[in-house]
Structure 1
């Protein structure tokens, strides 16, 4: 295994950890009266400010790349920043952190169907097995016997999954020559502007309280968890972009599944929150299903590559 691939795995693991921690920390803010709109707005705006100077430095002499890829930057900010975070943090308000995250982790399934529609290439049979297994896990996660499940929360988590699929696809594009730090900073700026409009128009109500937060049994100032959210957000996106450019969207979205156990552990330590046993069982199905999906994608990629080699060889022979 090359050093580049190892670095990609390590960076993606770091990104998964940073993302996993953010959900439980945000939920501690809800308990004292904060709203998802306020948390996401400060998260995006704080990250944009934190990355302002590094982004300007990274873009010296490369502003032409931003102008060339302005649509990608805009989409990245609206969907991968404001969309992923907005929908996910609303979902966390109505569901346990683990359940919201597991629903969001259905993003790899969406990537499979998107690539199928774009390339007209039928996925491998094992990919379909993975989709079925993941759907079984999804049903178990929803725990339909439990009438307390929030349908609104489920819809928000699945909307976050759609946005997350876009994040993986855009972040993995090595054709975009905008430096990762700058892409993250610009995306945060676009996301912050979009979220400001959403909050100030009342689509997502704003609410903030300056009070101590119960943080794993300890009382701390609200400033600490909010600062952690901002710093971890910056770390998650920068390491995520770098990692995905090394190992690609397919492998990266699979490695990112480690975010699930990370999140469960952190939610247990900070919120003393655990999903129901049947939901944990469903989580195993989703992870296993995504594993089959990725296995199928890898087999399909090898098959396509083999066909291209055969076609090239035949062309050389005919010449």
Structure 2
């Protein structure tokens, strides 16, 4: 089978797995569980499932973990504990699709951050994407329609900040720790962070053995926990394997399917749908993110072409940092 097609399928499956966890978590909230308890068991379960693969992949490579411990810790705190906890807290107060759409504004935050720190103006198509995403964000918040929880909005935007930070750290820091091991160690660090917040009383962890209603049928609480754990592991593993086959650019576009997947799963599991205007806003955010990513691709190509044109046979290609240019990349 074609390698690209397999990679595309794996990234698509990863997006579906990521989308599935939110609705199942919300179903557990209705039976007495708190976000802290769900996230704690989710992280702990994933760490246990990945324990053996992590140990196997690190045979003879523990020194690399020691050298890259800062990356491992930041990965666990930000992309594991931070993103998951804040998103699950947002789901407690908002519709699953609305919380995810607010989290999907992470690329928009990255554009603003890079613009402010590098002083390099984004491409015109990126500006178009930013404008469309902002309009979509206003529609999702629906100021004149449905009532939204301010706390839920803050939690969802906090998850977006953590997600943006994760992308930035991943782009800048090189680490030799194998991907599966990095995920497993990150889950362990995230578990310790959430457990610490629970022990300090900062985060409540309410558990319940009552049955959980999924769709129209009651199930043991073990069922949604297992689904959440294995879909999370599947999401990361499929994502890692798929991205190696299709690349980060294609993968980032395919990952946008997480939004419609979350709407479908939330409808089936907790009978929850966003309002019509929020649906339009969601489409706006997704379309805006597509334009933003398109602008990133165009800008990278333009920088590469400029580097080739400015190359010196004696010294090699000049760095873009050495030749600052505040013009757009169009």
> What band does the TM-score fall into relative to the shorter chain?
over 0.9
- C-alpha change, 1:113 and 1:8, in structure 2 (3 Å) is farther
Give the TM-score normalised by structure 2.
Answer: 0.89
SS state of the match for residue 312, structure 1? coil
Contact 2:47 2:188 in 1 (8 A): yes
- C-alpha change, 1:210 and 1:186, in structure 2 (3 Å) is same
SS state of the match for residue 43, structure 1? helix
Q: Which runs of 5+ in 1 are unaligned?
A: none
* RMSD of aligned alpha carbons: 2.2
- C-alpha change, 1:298 and 1:98, in structure 2 (3 Å) is same
Contact 2:65 2:177 in 1 (8 A): yes
Contact 1:251 1:294 in 2 (8 A): no
Aligned to 2:251: 252
| Per-residue Cα deviation, 1:267-302 (whole angstroms, up to 9, x for no partner) | 011111100000000001101111111111111111
Higher alpha-carbon deviation: 188-197 or 228-237: 228-237
SS state of the match for residue 9, structure 2? helix
Q: CA deviation at 1:312?
A: 2.0
Matched, 1:195 2:188: no
Cα distance in structure 2, aligned partners of 1:81 and 1:308: 36
Q: CA deviation at 1:67?
A: 1.2
SS state of the match for residue 178, structure 1? coil
Aligned to 1:91: 90
Contact 2:81 2:190 in 1 (8 A): yes
Contact 2:102 2:153 in 1 (8 A): yes
Aligned to 1:210: 209
| Per-residue Cα deviation, 1:30-66 (whole angstroms, up to 9, x for no partner) | 0000000000000001111111111001100111211
SS state of the match for residue 310, structure 2? helix
Cα distance in structure 2, aligned partners of 1:207 and 1:267: 23
Contact 2:210 2:220 in 1 (8 A): yes
Cα distance in structure 1, aligned partners of 2:135 and 2:37: 35
Q: CA deviation at 1:9?
A: 3.2
Aligned to 1:103: 102
Q: CA deviation at 1:129?
A: 1.0
| Per-residue Cα deviation, 1:137-194 (whole angstroms, up to 9, x for no partner) | 0000001013621011001000001111233344567932211111111000000000
SS state of the match for residue 17, structure 1? helix
- C-alpha change, 1:121 and 1:239, in structure 2 (3 Å) is farther
SS state of the match for residue 121, structure 1? coil
Higher helix share: 1
SS state of the match for residue 191, structure 1? helix
SS state of the match for residue 98, structure 1? helix
Cα distance in structure 2, aligned partners of 1:166 and 1:27: 26
Q: CA deviation at 1:199?
A: 1.4
Q: CA deviation at 1:234?
A: 1.1
Contact 2:71 2:173 in 1 (8 A): no
Aligned to 2:163: 164
Aligned to 1:79: 78
Aligned to 1:271: 270
- C-alpha change, 1:316 and 1:194, in structure 2 (3 Å) is closer
Q: How many residues align?
A: 316
Q: CA deviation at 1:218?
A: 1.1
Q: Which runs of 5+ in 2 are unaligned?
A: 317-330
Cα distance in structure 1, aligned partners of 2:6 and 2:178: 17
| Per-residue Cα deviation, 1:181-225 (whole angstroms, up to 9, x for no partner) | 111110000000000011122222110110111111111111011
Aligned to 1:123: 122
